[in-house]
């Protein structure tokens, strides 16, 4: 935030270059102005962009090499039809839309997948029940079905008119009606525009091309640092205890999991772990947690990690309150000071405090609440921050900054973390945090899961409470196929066995989640190395043009179609190619929509022809060291699957310390083999099942 004198000079110069004042059009020429930064990635700098943008304050490296490995693709759009100009202190941007073109992305939406026809103001906020742009991750990135996408890289509230506005000079005018007498009159005439308005005197645009929408998304994810690779334990089952639980109560609850044979990887403590919350001290309450270090060790001895709730506001009686005060914003949140996490001093002071109180005591990570806002919180837009970041900018990146900060604390210890966060934006793809919220519509939770795959964020449809055992089981089934499988019982005190009549079914799907860790871990490795979202919208799957709101892909081969309370059957859209029932191996269909009636016990899961699914043997906690893996093969196609493995907990994999094991199966000869690619070790296997040990 330095060099302000120079900044003023540049401002005037650029205005001057446009030949007049701020009301003049500074038209940008996209036929000439795109700067290539990697294969299928171009930048355009319109006007005089803000110094602070969605990526500028974050710590990650774009994975340019991996981007360059993706098949080359031109921008499938007439650049002369794209316009951008600075006017009235704002940046106006327009992309042309073809008749059949579909638009995806534009934030973590909960009720819609395809976005053409929508008007939104992208604005970090808790989700309020309608897809109007206010959401936990209003990532200003769209993916077009034509095979390109654009990031509007501005830490600003961004207005979007996605195929709603009609220009007077359009080449594709809507039909002219007379509402008096034409029944076809529509309140929303045809529009060939995708228009954006950014409240800044310039903006950086980043264009991504791809032979498929998936390739566009991959390039976007890799540009944002590539996906997170969680520690293996992060992919197990999570449970959060009621807010005022003491260490004895937590131990009892953990014991109950063991006694009942329910899996558990991570136990989450809520605000009551601290002496004060809302605002926070981030210091252990000596009454409820007299010996936190021993408590964390005790959990670790049972292969259970401890995760702690925090929110942004620093209490006046926090040990470092006086020290942090100069690096906090003008406004408080529930009496808490709001650290400016863009500043080195803040990271040092808060980092030392979190390390001393939690990380160095073995705490595995955090649930970072309420950095999404809601206008009453985080601080109003009239707030200012000591770095010079404005309230509006900070609102758009506060969650990103907290993610970057916390990830950094673990990274410097060479320990991976995995946790939860209420806000993200572009640039957070590589950070080990999964978004959650207070909303609780199960259908919408699944739609959010699908939408997360367009915009480089992760989402969990966490389970909290349910009205019926049916709803409980349906929610548990779905969350076990998400990036973070969690029962968040902070308010309700529910347990996985709270609904006795479905206790065994819940246990079974939780056990299945544990078993799927090898498959999921490889899935995340492809997120990290190749930018492929671990959970994907159906329209990112080859052979599928549909965009249902209630089914999704997990990893390479699994198609998950959850049921919701009250349903006994549902439609499932199967992309082209043969699909098989995950539980029975039976053929289900090929490029058709089928109706399934799975019964209450099962969540419908389908496997692509040739799908190879490596699975752990049943277990309730994830031990350190090697774990036996068994492998399933589905369908009739001879196929292979490269299973990723590493130490599961450090960043050494970034320096090449990992293994790929090639699993090959050929149903024609009913046998297969596994080859460790780096040392050439080979195992044979028959009947599409064999066992070996992971690291």
Find the part of the chain contacting a copy of itself (CB under 8 A) among 96-104, 106-114, 173-181, 457-465. Answer: 173-181
Of 373 and 575, which CB lies nearer to a copy of itself in the complex structure? 373
Of 178 and 655, which CB lies nearer to a copy of itself in the complex structure? 178
Among 316, 408, 577, 589, the residue binding a copy of itself under the rule CB under 8 A is: 316
Least separation in angstroms between residue 146's CB and a copy of itself is 21
What DSSP line would sit under 235-269, residue for residue? GSEEEE--TT--HHHHHHHHHHHHHHT---SEEEE
Neighbour-count burial for 90-125, b at 16+ CB within 10 Å, e otherwise: bbbbbbbbeeebbbbbbbbbbebbbbbebebebbbb
Task: Bin 379: left if φ > 0, else alpha if -120 < ψ < 50, else beta.
Answer: left
Residues 90-109 that bind a copy of itself (CB under 8 A): 90, 92, 94
* Strand 433-435 to 419-421 pairing: parallel
Question: Could you say which DSSP state residue 549 is in?
Answer: S
Residue 177 binding a copy of itself, by CB under 8 A? yes
Report which secondary-structure segment, H or E, holds 5: helix 4-17
Residue 369 binding a copy of itself, by CB under 8 A? no
What strand order describes the sheet that includes 659-666?
639-645, 659-666, 671-676, 682-686
Find the part of the chain contacting a copy of itself (CB under 8 A) among 169-177, 395-403, 542-550, 610-618. Answer: 169-177
Among 129, 185, 597, 687, the residue binding a copy of itself under the rule CB under 8 A is: 185
Residue 126 binding a copy of itself, by CB under 8 A? no
Least separation in angstroms between residue 140's CB and a copy of itself is 15
Residue 670 binding a copy of itself, by CB under 8 A? no
Helix 469-479 and helix 442-452: axis angle, to 10°? 10
Residues 2-21 that bind a copy of itself (CB under 8 A): 4-5, 7-8, 11-12, 15, 20-21
Least separation in angstroms between residue 173's CB and a copy of itself is 7
What is d(CA 99, CA 404) in angstroms, rounded to the nearest whole number? 40
Q: Residue count at the site for a copy of itself (CB under 8 A)?
A: 81
Of 302 and 390, which CB lies nearer to a copy of itself in the complex structure? 390
What is d(CA 85, CA 105) in angstroms, rounded to the nearest whole number? 23
Q: What are phi and psi of 93, to 5 degrees?
A: -130, 140
Site string for a copy of itself, 547-586 (x = CB under 8 A): ----------------------------------------
What is d(CA 436, CA 415) in angstroms, rounded to the nearest whole number? 23
Residues 233-252 that bind a copy of itself (CB under 8 A): 243-244
Residues 333-352 that bind a copy of itself (CB under 8 A): 334-335, 337
* Strand 535-537 to 552-554 pairing: antiparallel
Residue 676 binding a copy of itself, by CB under 8 A? no
Residue 167 binding a copy of itself, by CB under 8 A? yes
Least separation in angstroms between residue 382's CB and a copy of itself is 4
Of 174 and 255, which CB lies nearer to a copy of itself in the complex structure? 174
Find the part of the chain contacting a copy of itself (CB under 8 A) among 57-65, 175-183, 425-433, 520-528. Answer: 175-183
Question: Could you say which DSSP state residue 361 is in?
Answer: G
Least separation in angstroms between residue 168's CB and a copy of itself is 5
Residues 377-436 that bind a copy of itself (CB under 8 A): 379-384, 388, 390-393
Of 8 and 677, which CB lies nearer to a copy of itself in the complex structure? 8
CB atoms within 10 A of CB 376: 9
Tokens of 212: 């498929």
Residue 691 binding a copy of itself, by CB under 8 A? no
Residue 332 binding a copy of itself, by CB under 8 A? yes
Residue 289 binding a copy of itself, by CB under 8 A? no
Listed residue (229, 323, 247, 289) closest to 652, CA to CA: 229
What is d(CA 290, CA 43) in angstroms, rounded to the nearest whole number? 54
């Amino acid at each position: 935030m330095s060099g302000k004198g120079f900044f003023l000079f540049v401002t005037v110069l650029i205005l001057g270059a446009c030949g007049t004042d701020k009301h003049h059009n500074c038209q940008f020429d996209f036929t000439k102005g795109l700067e290539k930064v990697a294969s299928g990635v171009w930048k355009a700098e319109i006007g005089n962009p803000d110094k602070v943008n969605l990526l500028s304050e974050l710590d990650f490296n774009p994975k340019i090499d991996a981007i360059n490995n993706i098949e080359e693709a031109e921008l499938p759009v007439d650049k002369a039809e794209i316009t951008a100009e600075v006017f009235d202190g704002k940046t106006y941007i327009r992309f042309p839309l073809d008749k059949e073109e579909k638009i995806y992305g534009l934030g973590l939406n909960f009720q819609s997948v395809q976005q053409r026809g929508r008007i939104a103001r992208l604005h970090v906020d808790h989700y309020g029940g309608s897809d109007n742009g206010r959401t936990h991750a209003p990532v200003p990135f769209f993916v077009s079905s034509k095979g390109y996408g654009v990031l509007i890289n501005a830490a600003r509230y961004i207005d979007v008119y996605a195929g709603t506005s009609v220009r007077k000079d359009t080449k594709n005018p809507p039909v002219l009606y007379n509402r008096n007498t034409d029944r076809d009159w529509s309140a929303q005439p045809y529009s060939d525009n995708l228009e954006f308005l950014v409240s800044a005197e310039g903006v950086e645009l980043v264009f991504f091309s791809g032979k498929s929408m998936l390739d566009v998304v991959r390039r976007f994810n890799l540009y944002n640092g590539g996906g997170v690779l969680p520690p293996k334990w992060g992919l197990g089952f999570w449970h959060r205890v009621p807010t005022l639980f003491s260490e004895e109560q937590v131990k009892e609850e953990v014991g109950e999991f063991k006694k009942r044979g329910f899996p558990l990887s991570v136990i989450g403590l809520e605000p009551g772990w601290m002496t004060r919350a809302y605002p926070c001290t981030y210091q252990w309450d000596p009454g409820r947690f007299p010996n936190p270090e021993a408590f964390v060790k005790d959990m670790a001895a049972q292969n259970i990690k401890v995760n702690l709730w925090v929110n942004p506001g620093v209490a006046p009686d926090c040990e470092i309150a006086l020290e942090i005060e100069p690096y906090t914003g003008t406004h408080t949140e529930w009496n808490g000071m709001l650290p400016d996490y863009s500043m080195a001093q803040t990271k040092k002071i808060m980092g030392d405090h979190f390390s001393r109180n939690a990380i160095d005591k073995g705490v595995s990570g955090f649930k970072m609440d309420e950095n999404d806002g809601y206008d009453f919180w985080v601080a109003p837009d009239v707030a200012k921050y000591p770095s010079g970041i404005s309230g509006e900018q900070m609102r758009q990146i506060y969650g990103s900054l907290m993610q970057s900060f916390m990830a950094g604390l673990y990274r410097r210890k060479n320990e991976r973390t995995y946790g939860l966060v209420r806000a993200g934006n572009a640039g957070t793809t590589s950070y080990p945090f999964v978004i959650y919220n207070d909303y609780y519509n199960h259908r919408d939770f699944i739609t959010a899961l699908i939408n997360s795959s367009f915009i480089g964020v992760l989402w969990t449809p966490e389970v909290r409470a349910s009205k019926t055992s049916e709803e409980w089981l349906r929610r548990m089934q779905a969350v076990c196929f998400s990036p973070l499988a969690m029962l968040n019982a902070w308010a309700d005190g529910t347990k996985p066995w709270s609904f006795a009549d479905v206790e065994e079914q819940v246990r079974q799907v939780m056990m299945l989640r544990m078993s799927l860790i090898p498959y999921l871990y490889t899935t995340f490795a492809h997120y990290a190395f190749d930018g492929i979202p671990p959970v994907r919208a159906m329209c990112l799957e080859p052979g599928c043009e549909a965009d249902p709101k209630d089914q999704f892909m997990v990893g390479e081969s699994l198609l998950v179609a959850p049921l919701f309370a009250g349903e006994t059957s549902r439609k499932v859209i199967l992309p082209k190619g043969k699909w098989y029932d995950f539980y029975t191996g039976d053929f289900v269909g090929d490029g058709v929509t089928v109706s399934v009636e799975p019964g209450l016990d099962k969540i419908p899961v389908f496997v692509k022809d040739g799908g190879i699914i490596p699975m752990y043997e049943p277990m309730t906690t994830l031990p350190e060291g090697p774990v036996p893996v068994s492998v399933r093969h589905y369908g009739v196609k001879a196929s292979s699957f490269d299973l990723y493995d590493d130490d599961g907990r450090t960043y050494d994999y970034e320096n090449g310390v990992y293994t790929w094991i090639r699993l090959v199966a050929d149903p024609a000869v009913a046998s297969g083999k596994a080859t460790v690619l780096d040392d050439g070790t080979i195992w044979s296997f028959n009947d599409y099942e064999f066992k070996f040990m992971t690291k």
